[in-house]
Amino acid sequence: MKFIFHLFGILCCLCSCAQSKTMSRRPDSVSIGAQFARNSTIGRVAAVAVAAAINDINNDSSILPGTKLDVRMHDSSCNRFLGIVQALQFMEKDTVAIIGPLSSTTAHVLSHLANELHVPLMSFSATDPTLSSLEYPFFVRTTVSDQFQMTAIADLVQYYGWKQVTTIFVDNDYGRNGISSLGDELSKRRSKILYKAAFRPGATNNEIADVLIKVAMMESRVIILHANPDSGLVVFQQALKLGMTSSGYVWIATDWLTSYLDPSVHLDFGLLSTMQGILTLRHHTENTRRKSMLYSKWNELLKEDSGHSRFLLSTYGLYAYDTVWVLAHALDAFFNKGGNISFSPDPKLHEISGGGLNLDALSIFDGGQLLLESIYQVNFMGATGPVRFDSGGNLIQPAYDIVNIVGSGLRTIGYWSNYSGLSVISPETLYMKPANRARESQKLHDVIWPGDTIKRPRGWVFPNNGNELRIGVPNRVSYRQFVSADSETGMVRGFCIDVFVAATNLLAYPVPYRLIPFGNGSENPSYMELINKILTDDFDAVIGDVAIVTNRTKVVDFTQPYVESGLVVLTSVKPQSSNGWAFLQPFTNKMWAVTGLFFLIIGTVVWMLEHRINDDFRGPPAKQIITVFWFSFSTLFFAHREDTRSTLGRFVIIIWLFVVLIIQSSYTASLTSILTVQQLTSPITGIDSLITSDVPIGFQVGSFAENYLAQELGIAHSRLKALGSPDEYRNALELGPSKGGVAAIVDERPYIELFLHQNPNFAVVGSEFTKSGWGFAFPRDSPLSVDLSTAILELSENGDLQRIHDKWLASDMSSMSQPNEDSDRLQVYSFSALFLICGLACVFALAIHACNLFYQYSRHASEDPAALQPATGDGGGRSLSRRSKLQSFLSFADSREADIRTASKERAAALGGSGGSMSGVSFTSNGSTSTTASC
């Protein structure tokens, strides 16, 4: 037992020695550098936060035991050159990491130095997205990249339905790259930056005012301001003077504004009055324990930082505080992995040594790569929330507060996070739920916009730059009721022009424009070439009889259609003269067959109902067949001579005569129409017959019908013939294919309606085989197309569109007849109800007649069973066979009912005379009698 305790003591000693050996490898202090600009708001806050973090880490034995952080702080005073020189001074003193710089521009330069000397450059405020590129492996961003901020702004633009924005930014790496990232995010949402207004760093008030004047002349009223606090505040002051913060404007400032306002103990109301109603963003941080602790002792920290006025803690201060803790955790992991603080000379600097620069003092940090890996592997709860890096080197869970400046304060209207987008619920709550980026889940509280209104601004007005819209219109030579240009005066008139003018008059802003005819004036222009003029920036819009078709919608945007259209087939028709068989035309073949069949059915039914009681329907078989045919067809003229005696027969005849009356009247009316009204016929029945034939087809010059027929329907170009006017239409159709004309013309319905109004000897055959409309064309994503679409709908609703139509186009246009050989012929379907009623009446009468007949037969059989037995020698007492019963029933059904009644009375009289002592006389099948003894 003593041996075991002794062995345990030896092991503990060895472990203690090993631990002390490991601890001995840790230096007493580690030198780090920190670069600030104390004349900036972010720099003042960050300097205090970094000093507080250094103090907390050095007093915490759980992190970096036995090692102290030795930080050397330099104030660059926002001077880029001083920042570079100070970074070189850090490198001369074996610095393992640099906290800073504040500026993205300085960070670009220092990142090259960090790459060469393997010293991690940890910035809590350089937000330029391009710093995360592979070009700068030793740059570590310990705040949220502007890539996410621009994504949040793009989501805001999409949420409020704006399609175009104007950006104002400082022209340096920070401003240019941030706006470039915004443009990429907007394009993903089918929006775009209409105008980029840049100003140089340190621009004067007049220079900024000149930039704003150019912005005011643009059509977009959604302005994104991405600048630094000094220049950004000047932008708002100048915008107020120019009236650019009034109703209708939208201002969205990036997080530079909250980084300036948040540290202020007392907000200047005069300053806030220049930015009423604007939206801005603020880094969202969780309410962690370290954050609360830092806020609670902030006033004490300010007292230690003597020589500075009082200010509050901001989100950038929290990121600066966490940056020091990231480095401390990384150094602790670095030492645990066996890392040593050692430096080696840079051979590249040795080659250029000499002169007044002490380049030999710059050396490479041997453990720089290991420390960098340790930095990206940290995972702890900091003052801002969970601190951890993703695979792209960005902090996890980026989020922003959406802030609205109203009155004398800042009001949070919602949040944005990369996890769930826009929401009124804090991101921490949403992280515990499944991600939901659906449009209906994106919500924000109401915004007080500039001008003190809660109504969402349109975000767009007609540009106030003095330029007129150059609107192209087709210079038509045919169908000038739609668009016509006067070559002498330059005036453009027509139905389409009046619609455009009426729609623009309904807009809430003036639209200066100039109509420019397009075409040579001798033939209709190509509408596709006219549309392409928008792409080449020759025209700002195109109005006229422009059909909305697929290949055009791929390159431009169209308004709401103001005329329904579609392709139809126009052809010549010939009068159809009547012939000797014209009397057969009122009914279709099927109608003739069904009507004749019903005549025979009615004759047969009436014969069955009348045969036993009516001598007119009795006699030899040939006579009865003739009677059936005669009776049935004579009812057509109500000339039947046979009398109907049964109730059921009269019931069927009454219904049938009503049916005959309807059919006869319809036949007479249809035949009269056929013989007196001119019928038009054509060998072309529609687009299908044109496709399968090889006849030439006409189309209007400039119309999309040519491409549609050739490319979509596969009709050879050799069959297509261009026609330019209604006269050419008429001549080509009258000549026909045999004389150099065309068999048919394919054109849009509005043109054909006008043509038929003046040329009634032609007609449309078949149905309309495309569905489209006419609209006004504008560049892609043009807000004017949306506003004009709303105006066109209003014209349609208030009746103005119809009144314009009646002004230019004949309101009594003849309808486009579609000749069809069966269109005027009577169909079976038209009389189906009458035939059904008649058929049901026949079935009903036959059913009652059959029941009555079976009843009489069964009664007759019970009164005289012997009369139904066959007269055979094998015994009359045998039961009747099934065939004998059928013969007996048919014989009974064929006999006159009066004869059956007479025979029945005679049998009853005979039975009464015998007194019942003997059996009645029974008649055999051959007429002999037999008697049987009574029992």
**Higher pLDDT among residues 509 and 71, named by residue:** 71
What letter represents residue 908's amino acid?
A
Does residue 874 lie within any of the structural domains?
no
Residue 360: predicted pLDDT = 63
**Higher pLDDT among residues 358 and 272, named by residue:** 272
Helix (H) or strand (E) holding 409: strand 409-417
Backbone conformation region of residue 619, classed left if phi is above 0, alpha if psi is from -120 to 50, else beta: left
**Residue that terminates a domain, selected from 788, 809, 830:** 809
What letter represents residue 622's amino acid?
A
Backbone conformation region of residue 702, classed left if phi is above 0, alpha if psi is from -120 to 50, else beta: left
**Residue that terminates a domain, selected from 624, 651, 676:** 676
Phi, psi at 774, each rounded to 5°: -105, 135
**Residues contacting residue 25 through CB under 8 Å, at least 6 positions apart:** 335, 338, 340
Same domain, 43 and 96: yes
Residue 763 near residue 440 (C-beta atoms within 8 A): no
Does residue 480 lie within any of the structural domains?
yes
Secondary structure class of 58 (helix, strand, coil): helix
Does residue 619 lie within any of the structural domains?
yes
Same domain, 324 and 359: yes
Residue 934: predicted pLDDT = 33
User: CA angle, corner 592, sides to 586 and 595, nearest 5?
Assistant: 115
CA distances (Å), origin 931, targets 78, 370, 924, 928: 147, 137, 11, 10
Same domain, 43 and 123: yes
Backbone conformation region of residue 787, classed left if phi is above 0, alpha if psi is from -120 to 50, else beta: alpha
Distance of alpha carbon 660 from alpha carbon 598, whole angstroms = 10
Residue 893: predicted pLDDT = 65
- Tens of pLDDT, residue by residue over 132-142, are 889 999 999 99
Q: 121: which strand partners?
A: 98, 139
What average pLDDT does this structure show over 153-170? 94
Class of residue 721 by CB neighbours under 10 A (exposed 0-12, middle 13-18, buried 19+): middle
End-to-end CA distance of the chain: 136
Q: 98: which strand partners?
A: 33, 121
CA distances (Å), origin 34, targets 37, 87, 102, 113, 525: 10, 9, 10, 15, 70
Residue 229 near residue 257 (C-beta atoms within 8 A): yes
Same domain, 272 and 180: yes
Percent pLDDT > 70 in the chain is: 79
Q: Tell how far CA 515 is from the center of its chain.
A: 33
Among candidate residues 415, 413, 421, 389, the one with its CA nearest the CA of residue 144 = 389
**CB-CB neighbours of 580 under 10 Å:** 6
Residue 2: predicted pLDDT = 45
Does residue 907 lie within any of the structural domains?
no
Distance of alpha carbon 557 from alpha carbon 136, whole angstroms = 43
Same domain, 139 and 165: no
Distance of alpha carbon 612 from alpha carbon 174, whole angstroms = 113
Among candidate residues 52, 55, 82, the one with its CA nearest the CA of residue 68 = 55
Among candidate residues 820, 769, 823, the one with its CA nearest the CA of residue 573 = 820
Residue 781: predicted pLDDT = 80
Phi, psi at 811, each rounded to 5°: -75, -20
Secondary structure in 3-state letters for 573-642: CEEECCCCCHHHCCECHHHHHHHHHHHHHHHHHHHHHHCCCCHHHCCCHHHHHHHHHHHHHHHHHCCCCC
- Tens of pLDDT, residue by residue over 281-335, are 999 999 999 999 999 999 888 887 765 578 999 999 999 999 999 999 999 999 9
Is pLDDT at 856 greater than 50 in this prediction? Answer: yes
Q: Which domain holds residue 605?
A: 582-676
**Residue that terminates a domain, selected from 323, 353, 388:** 388
Residue 749 near residue 727 (C-beta atoms within 8 A): no
Among candidate residues 469, 473, 470, the one with its CA nearest the CA of residue 545 = 473
Same domain, 246 and 277: yes
User: CA angle, corner 35, sides to 31 and 36, nearest 5?
Assistant: 145
- Tens of pLDDT, residue by residue over 395-410, are 999 999 999 999 989 9
Distance of alpha carbon 485 from alpha carbon 687, whole angstroms = 34
**Higher pLDDT among residues 617 and 253, named by residue:** 253
Q: What is the DSSP code string of 770-836?
A: --EEE--EE-TT-HHHHHHHHHHHHHHHHTHHHHHHHHHS-TTPPP-----TTTTSBPGGGGHHHHH
Residue 100: predicted pLDDT = 84
What average pLDDT does this structure show over 228-255? 94
Residue 404 near residue 448 (C-beta atoms within 8 A): yes
Secondary structure class of 402 (helix, strand, coil): strand
Residue 287: predicted pLDDT = 93
User: CA angle, corner 730, sides to 729 and 736, nearest 5?
Assistant: 90
Does residue 276 lie within any of the structural domains?
yes
Does residue 94 lie within any of the structural domains?
yes
- Tens of pLDDT, residue by residue over 761-809, are 788 888 888 888 999 999 988 888 888 999 999 999 999 999 998 888 8
Secondary structure class of 356 (helix, strand, coil): coil
Secondary structure class of 140 (helix, strand, coil): strand
- Tens of pLDDT, residue by residue over 520-551, are 888 889 999 999 999 999 999 999 999 999 88
Q: 748: which strand partners?
A: 567
Residue 449: predicted pLDDT = 96
Phi, psi at 628, each rounded to 5°: -60, -50
Residue 355: predicted pLDDT = 52
Token pair for residue 841? 């009446």
Is pLDDT at 473 greater than 90 in this prediction? Answer: yes
Location of structure tokens 């951890």: 388
Q: Tell me the residue length of the chain.
A: 935
Phi, psi at 130, each rounded to 5°: -70, -15
Same domain, 36 and 116: yes
Does residue 723 lie within any of the structural domains?
yes
What average pLDDT does this structure show over 10-31? 56
Q: 421: which strand partners?
A: 417
Class of residue 27 by CB neighbours under 10 A (exposed 0-12, middle 13-18, buried 19+): middle
Residue 614: predicted pLDDT = 65
- Tens of pLDDT, residue by residue over 421-444, are 999 999 999 999 998 888 889 999
Is pLDDT at 630 greater than 80 in this prediction? Answer: no
Residue 416 near residue 148 (C-beta atoms within 8 A): no
Same domain, 615 and 642: yes
Location of structure tokens 């670095």: 334
Same domain, 67 and 126: yes
CATH at 67: 3.40.50.2300
Lowest mean pLDDT among 36-40, 219-223, 333-337, 610-614: 610-614
Same domain, 51 and 108: yes
pLDDT tier at 157 (50, 70, 90 boundaries)?
Answer: very high
Q: What is the DSSP code string of 253-276?
A: E-THHHHHHTT-SS--HHHHGGGT
Q: Angle, nearest 10°, between helix axes 726-735 and 749-758?
A: 70
Phi, psi at 583, each rounded to 5°: -65, -15
**Residues contacting residue 21 through CB under 8 Å, at least 6 positions apart:** none
Residue 308: predicted pLDDT = 59
Q: Which residues of 451-470 are buried (b: 16+ CB within 10 A; e: fewer)?
A: eeeeeebbbbbbbeeeeebb
Secondary structure class of 67 (helix, strand, coil): coil
Location of structure tokens 């109401």: 446
**Residues contacting residue 362 through CB under 8 Å, at least 6 positions apart:** 88, 91, 92, 117, 346, 349
**Higher pLDDT among residues 568 and 895, named by residue:** 568
Does residue 664 lie within any of the structural domains?
yes
Mean pLDDT of the chain, nearest integer: 82
Same domain, 281 and 291: no
Residue 124 near residue 323 (C-beta atoms within 8 A): yes
**CB-CB neighbours of 621 under 10 Å:** 7
Distance of alpha carbon 530 from alpha carbon 555, whole angstroms = 12
Q: How many domains does the chain have?
A: 5
Distance of alpha carbon 628 from alpha carbon 620, whole angstroms = 13
Same domain, 154 and 265: yes
Is pLDDT at 817 greater than 50 in this prediction? Answer: no
CATH at 556: 3.40.190.10
- State yes or no: cis peptide before 819, omega within 30 of 0: no
